[in-house]
Structure 1
Amino acid sequence: MRLAEALAARADLQRRIEQLRSRITGNARYQEGEEPAEDAAALLVEADAALDQLRDLIRRINTTNSRVDLGADGTMTDALATRDVLRMRHSLLTDAATAASGTDQGFMRQMRSELRQFAALPVAELRARADDVARQLRELDGRIQQANWGHDLDE
């Protein structure tokens, strides 16, 4: 199994577990004289098995990620950490630029007697930095995706 396939399987298992959670909580109680639509205990057993599968799959993915070498980006684990930080940095820069530009607050002076507001941060520079971070993120994500399809999952 390729690493990318394992990641898709992990996402499917996570969705399945959330569906089971919803079904369990929806059938955990019922009124006297009624029967629950599903057996909550059986659903709980099914969820436990799915969680065990998820744990094993995550362990295998993490083991694989720690051995996959992406050259200048380090291991896959290193690249994933870098990607997470790049996403956070991009969000921070775009939020700061939006706040400094005032477009998120809708403040417009109605009269000349109202106080003017000024940007405390250079909006154009922040947006340029955010664009550069977005480019770095796209490039890194492409290398990560390529590695996901190019490596087998460890056993």
Structure 2
Amino acid sequence: MKIAEALALRADHQKRIEQLKARLLRNAKVQEGEQPAEDPEALILEYEALASELVHLIKRINVTNSSASVAGRSMTQALAERDILKLRHTMYRDLAQAATITQAVATRSEVRFKGTVTVSVVQKKADVIAKDLRELDARIQEANWLIDLAE
């Protein structure tokens, strides 16, 4: 199994765990004399089995990521860099948006606002980071389809 397949399976397990939780909560109580729509004990067993599979899968993904190499660094390092690039990109994009003055002033007595940063410079920085993020993400995705999951 490739890392990409394991990641898809992990997402599926996480989704199924959330669905099982919702089903459990819906069947946690019933009116006196009624039966739950589903057996809570069976749902708990299914939940626990799936959670156990998920732990094993996540461990295998983490071991693989720590030993796999992407663009001259470990997958773990590349993932950390991607996360920070996402944070930085969002900050610069949001800063450019916040500094853009779109308020129309109707009278001379109204409060006027001015940006404290140069929007074009901030937007260019956001664009550069977005490009770096796309390139790194492409390398990570490629590696995910080439690298086998550790046992």
Structure 1, unmatched stretches of 5+, are none
2:36, 2:96 → 1: CA distance?
A: 53
Aligned to 2:99: 100
Shift of 1:116: 1.4
Aligned to 2:49: 49
Aligned to 1:22: 22
Aligned residues: percent identity? 50
1:108, 1:42 → 2: CA distance?
A: 62
Aligned to 1:63: 63
1:63, 1:31 → 2: CA distance?
A: 48
Residues 17-46 of structure 1: CA deviation (Å, up to 9, x unaligned): 000000000000000121111011210111
Aligned to 1:87: 86
How many residues in Structure 1 have an aligned counterpart in Structure 2? 151
Runs of 4+ in 1 over 6 A off after TM superposition: none
2:9, 2:100 → 1: CA distance?
A: 43
1:148, 1:140 → 2: CA distance?
A: 12
Structure 2, unmatched stretches of 5+, are none
Matched position secondary structure for 2:113: coil
The TM-score, its normalising length taken from structure 1, stands at 0.94
Aligned to 1:4: 4
Aligned to 1:127: 123
Distance 1:28 1:126, change over 3 A: same
Shift of 1:132: 0.6
1:136, 1:68 → 2: CA distance?
A: 21
Matched residue type, 1:86 = L
- Report the RMSD for the aligned CA atoms in angstroms: 1.0
The TM-score, its normalising length taken from structure 2, stands at 0.97
2:124, 2:39 → 1: CA distance?
A: 56
Residues 114-152 of structure 1: CA deviation (Å, up to 9, x unaligned): 121100011111111101111000000000011001110
2:20, 2:141 → 1: CA distance?
A: 30
